[in-house]
Structure 1
């Protein structure tokens, strides 16, 4: 009598897996579509938005810097009227009637204090604009030193008057040179900002010979 056994495995019915496989395929396709759609959305919107935001920032910075340049140029023109006569007087040879006295020197001192006021709390701009502003501030500070030295010359011991007066003249010459460099830099940033040539030299001239407002 043969022993009863089960059917061979190859004769067993195959499990119905078609539905499960179909579900897996559907999920995979859905995920792929989601990933592709997200990537396409980022490609379409992400870089454009970033670039647009960066462009807005650059435009705002350019507008802010242009406004700073205009204001700095106006300040330089106003200060030139006050600073130029002081430096010219300090650099000049002593007139026949003698050197300027204490009252005149005190007036110069007040003038230089007013000239330094606009640079007390400067705004932050681009490097080029900051260099122009720093150059003008340095020129005003050097001119102030020249005035202070001259005050010491006329109020100090007579034996030191000649030496201190000569030092004040040298400081005035250095202030004039510093202003000239700053004026050149300010002229250039005006050109770069589209304002054209803007000349703020102490003597009222234009060393480059360019017409005012040209080259913008």
Structure 2
């Protein structure tokens, strides 16, 4: 009887091992593939959402940057002092943009890098607005130094956004969205827009 029991137990063990070899790895591989597909689907959705957000930000910030260029021209020439109404308008726009980037949905590294850089850019631009506000309230020579500081902060914001826009272009292609051009009016040190048509280059 004991021999029969031992044989039965050994048979179960062998069946378990064989079953693990034949079905375990396949089931694990299948689950991994499912998770990877879910991640890809999520990233495609997040890329699409970020593209729409970035396009809106570009359109809303362009008038602000145009006004800033009049106050502190990119070429270094003397600008015109912005009015209180202009400053209030800039503050309203950039504050709203900062809030739009406060939330960071779960996404892949490519999306996270682009979104984080865009958030840093709009936060830097908010600092530039603050420097312009301080400059208007100050007298020379402090006013001139504050305008110079505001111009530097604006340039840093533009460079940061430029890098984020390039990243978004890359992940947009990978996500099947094609080329995405969300660059802001540029200053020194920003990356130029490529010559590819918007939406082309899908994979």
- Whether the aligned pair in 1 keeps the contact of 2:65 and 2:185 (CA below 8 Å) is no
Q: TM-score, normalised by structure 1?
A: 0.81
Shift in CA distance, 140/214, structure 1 to aligned 2, threshold 3 Å = same
SS in 2 for 1:201: coil
Shift in CA distance, 55/96, structure 1 to aligned 2, threshold 3 Å = closer
Q: Which structure has the larger Rg? A: 1
Could you tell me which runs of 5 or more consecutive residues in structure 2 were left unpaired when the two chains were aligned.
187-191
SS in 1 for 2:181: coil
- Whether the aligned pair in 1 keeps the contact of 2:128 and 2:151 (CA below 8 Å) is yes
Q: TM-score, normalised by structure 2?
A: 0.86
How far 1:24 moved relative to its partner? 4.4
Superposed CA RMSD in Å reads: 2.3
How far 1:202 moved relative to its partner? 1.4
| 1:58 aligned residue (19, 36, 48) | 36
| 1:128 aligned residue (80, 95, 110) | 110
Deviations 1:158-183 (A, max 9, x none): 43111111211121122111111110
Give the corresponding residue for 2:172.
190
Matches within 5 A, 1:34-49: 34-49=12-27
Give the corresponding residue for 1:14.
none
How far 1:25 moved relative to its partner? 4.1
Shift in CA distance, 166/28, structure 1 to aligned 2, threshold 3 Å = same
How far 1:97 moved relative to its partner? 9.6
Deviations 1:20-75 (A, max 9, x none): xxx44433432332222111211222112211221111111111111111101100
Deviations 1:175-210 (A, max 9, x none): 111111110011111112222211111149x71211
| 2:131 aligned residue (143, 149, 153) | 149
